[in-house]
Structure 1
């Protein structure tokens, strides 16, 4: 009788735990460096952890070369710049395939250090300098990382210095309207998205 009386309580506990159990079952582990966006695009200079499952000899810490490639045993030269870690892992796996009679082993690639994604904030900010990030950073986020505006900062004439294949370019940045918030902006989607800084870009606040 005691067991029958306890049965409703046990059923209730199981029902309450069911969603948690289902959620745990649906979780897919993602191997990625802490703080790095899985969709982060790799840059020259980044350090990558590469692991071929089942073969400890093929575990390497690799730095992406200035030309955007990396070298990996049995896989040769692999294009890495402007690709996600998932894309790089699939490319290495494809390159390894001819070395295996059966299906090639799984490959895991993770960003150890996103040092290649380094941008700079100069001028009238509290802590000017270079900053590294494992995710895309817009100009306001970059300004926050630099400690915010210093006294007498001229946000109306802020610019981004950007190195392109055609040479260095200057891009004006309209920060004053955004920094004034709701006083100058309507709610809803921005007509013009905030510029995103890339590797080597310099945000200048005169």
Structure 2
């Protein structure tokens, strides 16, 4: 009698184990955490210097040559031993390399390392006008796209017409007007497909005016 009961108990146990093995696979797959997709490679473009920007320049081992310089309206500045340096529309890395090249003849064992940093990006000043919450002028130490500029201006105001936003830009050939299609982007997931954008967001340059009618 005891042996029969044990046999029944063993059969029930085997049935339970079989059911667990049968359903464990699907449930385990559901329970596994989803690994997020890696973000697309690339980052914001490196900031390019504008007239009016203030730079902090340090030559390692030559503290006496440390300087804070302001880029002149013609896009240049002067630095001891290096002479006049063209800075406008160049990155801090390019400027550091140019200074090092210019001062190299003054050193027998090669020019020391040079660090150039943006101390104040007053030259990179743009404007957001029209139907935004806080219109006005803004400064940034790096390149800013139109969505970031809207954020700095507090976002859109009521009745803003994002379908007809424009960028006013002054060039050597005169003023230009560039249309900006913000409506799809501002709708988020409802207006755009996932994945890499077909065209990058327009970047604002120094003196640009983003106008939201």
Task: Quickly name the TM-score band, shorter chain normalised.
Answer: 0.7 to 0.9
Larger-Rg structure: 2
Match of 2:134 among 127, 134, 141: 127
C-alpha separation between the residues in 2 aligned to 1:38 and 1:189?
A: 16
Residue 144 of structure 1: which of 138, 151, 168 is its match?
A: 151
- 1:77 aligned counterpart, secondary structure: strand
**Equivalent in 38, 41, 47 of residue 40 of structure 1:** 47
Aligned length: 170
Please state whether the residue corresponding to 1:203 is helix, strand or coil: strand
CA RMSD of superposed structures (Å):
1.5
- Cross-structure match for 1:66: 73
Q: Please give the alpha-carbon distance, in whole angstroms, between the structure 2 residues aligned to 1:48 and 1:38.
A: 19
Preserved CA contact (<8 Å) 1:69 1:79: yes
Name the counterpart of 1:171: 178
Matches within 5 A, 1:1-206: 39-206=46-213
TM-score (norm 1): 0.78
Helix, strand or coil at the partner of 1:62? strand
Query: In the aligned structure 2, how far is the partner of 1:89 from the partner of 1:38?
Result: 18
Unaligned runs of 5+ in 2: 1-43
Matches of 2:174 and 2:89, distance apart in 1: 19
Q: With structure 2 as the length reference, what TM-score do the two structures score?
A: 0.76
